[in-house]
Amino acid sequence: MIIQLEKNIAASQKEKLQEKLQSINYEGNEVNTQFGNYIVAVGKKDFDIRSIGTMEGIKDIHKVSDPYKLVSKKWKVKDTVIDLGDDVKIGTGHFPIMAGPCSIESEEQIESTINHLVENGIKIMRGGVYKPRSSPYAFRGLGMDGLKLWYEQAKAAGLKIITEVMMVEQIEAMADYVDIFQVGARNSQNFNLLDALGEVDKPVLLKRGISGTIDELLQAAEYIFSNGNEKIMLCERGIRSYENAYRNCFDINAIAILKEKTHLPIISDPSHGIGLRQFVEPVALASIMGGADGVIMEVHQSPEKAFSDGQQTLSYKQATKTYEKIRRTYKLREEFKLI
């Protein structure tokens, strides 16, 4: 049950509300975000919500039977649109492409990527400075130095930055240089990290776990929201399956289902979703028809020389064609709304 509070609700009214909830054996979790104040009440007993809805200081009240609450479409029917400033928006009615290398490697590489993105009218650049790697001996990213270098150039070019954060301690230092924090598949249920990202007023792109369920993803997002941050987007990036012909199994079904279950934007990651360069385009286009609100993909000036993920990275030339097809496919999907 989600109880939306009036901004100016009196402390005494809140107390009354909590007492009321206790009396019916509900636990009331107070949630204050950039945009609203809520009590998420969790309990078992069925009762007439009007007895609460009519209390003073209550704006609205909704029953939400899902295990996730605040991220559910059952109470917030209007889709979330995240505004990054400078007219860059993510959510229904917009279709951002985020592109860039797997890893930030050098000043020269940053410059080259930015030129490519600007030429193609892309506003959000992806890149990793902290890299989760299976092996401790692999390249683990340029860290804060790389991020600062990147930030300067991106800012000058008017580009927004999305990059992965791996641990709570990194958040504060990174926050000034990042427009979207990315949580990787391996950290999809790193609950302390999610808690901490809930306390920052920065958009978060949350990837589905390596074998995460749709429900787990939504509950992970609930961690961020319930700690105070409503600016969340979810990302389908393929799941683990028995099939060895590709890296991950892009779950096209999940996009359609997520669009029904949540008001949050859904971004597709076709690069990880199939893991093979020559098939990134069809998966990207498919994900749009499946309902995605945006795409994040890997490009590199020389994919075969990339520090990581080269086999799933597009060259600029390939990518340029793909961007055009993405935009035309999105346009057609928008036209379908009229049928």
Spatial separation of the C-alpha atoms in residues 236 and 104, rounded to whole Å:
22
Q: How far apart are CA 331 and CA 320, in angstroms?
A: 17
CA distances from 145 to 106, 130, 150 (A): 10, 11, 9
The pairing of strands 58-62 and 204-207 is: unpaired
Nearer to a copy of itself, 160 or 322 (CB): 322
Cβ proximity to a copy of itself, 37 vs 84, nearer residue = 37
What are the strands of the beta sheet with 27-32, ordered from one edge? Answer: 27-32, 37-42, 2-5, 58-62
Nearest to 254 by CA among 306, 220, 213, 307: 213
Shortest distance, position 250 Cβ to a copy of itself, whole Å? 5
Q: Would you mind telling me the total number of residues written for the chain in this entry?
A: 339
CA 231, 234, 238: angle at the middle one, nearest 5?
165
CB closer to a copy of itself, 127 vs 290? 290
Identify which of residues 100 and 141 has a Cβ nearer to a copy of itself in the complex. Answer: 141
Closer by beta carbon to a copy of itself, 159 or else 166: 166
Query: Which amino acid does the sequence have at 20?
Result: K
CB of 94 to a copy of itself, least distance (A): 19
Minimum distance, C-beta of residue 101 to a copy of itself, in the bound complex (Å): 20
**CB nearer a copy of itself, residue 114 or residue 306:** 306
CB atoms within 10 A of CB 29: 14
Q: Cβ of residue 139: shortest distance to a copy of itself, in angstroms?
A: 10
Quick one: 46 or 260, whose CB is closer to a copy of itself? Answer: 260
Per DSSP (E only), the strands in 6-96 are 27-32, 37-42, 58-62, 82-83, 89-90
Q: Considering the complex, state which of residue 189 and residue 315 has its C-beta at the smaller distance from a copy of itself.
A: 189
Q: Which CB sits closer to a copy of itself, 149 or 168? A: 168
Q: What is the closest distance, in whole angstroms, from the C-beta atom of residue 12 to a copy of itself in the complex?
A: 25
- Count of alpha carbons within 13 Å of 335, Cβ hemisphere only? 6
Distance in Å, CB of 312 to a copy of itself, minimum: 12
Q: Tell me how far, at minimum, the Cβ of 319 lies from a copy of itself, in Å.
A: 13
Contacts of residue 166, defined as CB under 8 A and 6 or more positions apart, other chains included, come to 130, 132, 184, 187, 193
CB count, 10 Å around CB of 35? 11
Q: Nearest 5°: phi and psi at 182?
A: -105, 135
- Least distance from C-beta 128 to a copy of itself, angstroms? 13
Interacting residues of 95 by C-beta distance below 8 A, sequence separation 6+: 288, 293, 294, 295, 326, 327, 330
Q: How far is the CB of 88 from a copy of itself (least distance, A)?
A: 25
Question: How far apart are the two ends of the chain, measured CA to CA in Å?
Answer: 36
